[in-house]
Structure 1
Amino acid sequence: MRCDFSSFCRSPKNPQQKIIKRVIALEGDLIRTMGYKNRYVKVPDGHFWIEGDHHGHSLDSNSFGPVSLGLVHAKASHIIWPPNRWQRITAQLPSDRAPLLRLNGDVEEEEED
């Protein structure tokens, strides 16, 4: 399963709030975080890693950690509001946010900072 899609889910911080975030990693993947308490995280079984497009201004896994798959409602496919932004959401994972290690054992090269 690829993880370059956006999910519509309940916020782990506020169950009354629904959020749409880009799925960065799936269970078993090793991810380099951006401000989470641990620099590297292996996403636990039954969880995934989500991030907003505006790092530092987004409440996402870098704030609250891996998210339970049970909170997912749907896969986001289109922007419908406002009408001038109607479009299909492109399934693209930012090149610098790919998991370092996938479930299938493939290793991604990490760029030097």
Structure 2
Amino acid sequence: MRVLLSIKPEYAYKIFEGTKKFEFRKIRFKNPNIKTVVVYASSPVQKVIGEFEIEDILSFDPDRIWRITEKYSGISEAFFMNILQIEKLRTQSKLKVQPSIQNLSLSKMILMLIPRNLLSICN
């Protein structure tokens, strides 16, 4: 199952460059079957730039999360600590990057995700 996530461009591009292998989120997805994340780079890019698979989701105390992820976090420790104070971060996802979709507008991506039988109803 797929999910569409909006990620700031500076971090989204780091994912596909391989320098950011962890994506930090304050809560887990409600559906445990989500395995693929479609990345929408937010403003000013405003395009779907790729997708990645979730290799694992880790839930630990913040200090342990930082020790595990710091090398490929794509962020500074100061920024990580700031996130903690604002969002009470408890989980992060280990990414397996597969850049197979690139530079699509959000409207084109939505059309790709809608099942074909629903598209025929809409037309």
Whichever structure has more helix as a proportion of its residues is 2
TM-score (norm 2): 0.29
- Greater RCO (CA < 8 Å, at least 6 residues apart): 2
Rg: which structure is higher? 2
TM-score (norm 1): 0.31
